[in-house]
Amino acid sequence: MTTPPNHAHGATGRAITVVIPTYNERENILTLVPAILALSREYSVIVVDDNSPDQTGAVADELAAASQERVTVLHRDAKRGIGPAYLAGFRRALMGDAELIATMDADHSHNPADLARLVAATANADLVLGSRYVAGGRTQGWPLYRRGISRLGGLYARLVLGVAIADLTGGFKVYRRETLVALDLNRIRSDGYVFQIETTYRTIQAGYRVVEVPITFVDRVAGKSKLSRRIVAEAVVMVWQLRFGRRTP
């Protein structure tokens, strides 16, 4: 079921693990996972599924069975949030030999072809962000209100935290292994968009270099958005807790 690897594209000489949380993303991962594996043999994927009613987990298992051990599936018993899903994926990735750990959305909003550019940028950075809001970056297919929420949320977080990052809420990232280890995953309790804010902010606080690479973010191909009022409200409160060094309850 997987596409044969193309060694002409994306080769780096380093093991790269891509962590993808899923909830009702059956249609999307059928094409996303093979597209990542096709970049080069250096890429592997960890799918973290929250017991999706649409059988995303079962589809991921089929992809794993055909992947020659390049796909791992973590099955969680219920929908418990994207932040904890990423943490579960990070912990599994760190059990392996990955030198770089990437994160991306399951809905094709992030183009697998852009992974090679983000990976290349780790030569001079400890964390690379795929950014919609630096020169050359853009969003495609989003309604005006979604663009407004994203822009205002990023501006709010930048002002509160005092960091010069244009796209704090994006989920397309590549970490060096040592950067992720230094974050102390047990300290991270946030979820939703604020999980992305917290991990980037803690990386900066720890003295690591963060670089943004322009990407085109495309609205999801299939399925429904997971954005909710609770996620937005959590972000509003959590950035102040981060600013003053308080732990999230």
Residue 50 lies in a domain: yes
Residue 218 lies in a domain: yes
Q: Which domain holds residue 66?
A: 16-243
What's the structural domain count of the chain? 1
Q: What is the rounded average pLDDT for all residues in the chain?
A: 86
Question: Contact, 170 vs 130, CB < 8 A?
Answer: yes
Residue that the structure tokens 């093991």 belong to: 15
Residue 140 lies in a domain: yes
Residue 37 lies in a domain: yes
Tell me the percentage of the chain whose pLDDT exceeds 90: 65
DSSP lists the bridge partners of residue 16 as 43, 100
Task: Find the largest Cα–Cα distance for the chain.
Answer: 49
Query: Residue 60's domain is classified under what CATH number?
Result: 3.90.550.10
Q: What is the pTM of this model?
A: 0.85
What tens-digit pLDDT sequence spans the chain (249 residues)?
333 333 334 556 789 999 999 999 999 999 999 999 999 999 999 999 999 999 999 999 999 999 999 999 999 999 988 999 999 999 999 999 999 999 999 999 999 999 999 999 999 999 999 999 999 998 888 777 777 777 777 788 888 898 999 999 899 999 999 999 999 999 898 877 789 999 999 999 999 999 999 999 998 555 455 455 655 566 666 666 776 775 443
Residue 10 lies in a domain: no
pLDDT digits (tens, 9 = 90+) for 71-106: 999 999 999 889 999 999 999 999 999 999 999 999
Q: Ramachandran region of residue 184, left (φ > 0), alpha (ψ -120 to 50) or beta?
A: left
DSSP lists the bridge partners of residue 105 as none
Question: Contact, 70 vs 5, CB < 8 A?
Answer: no
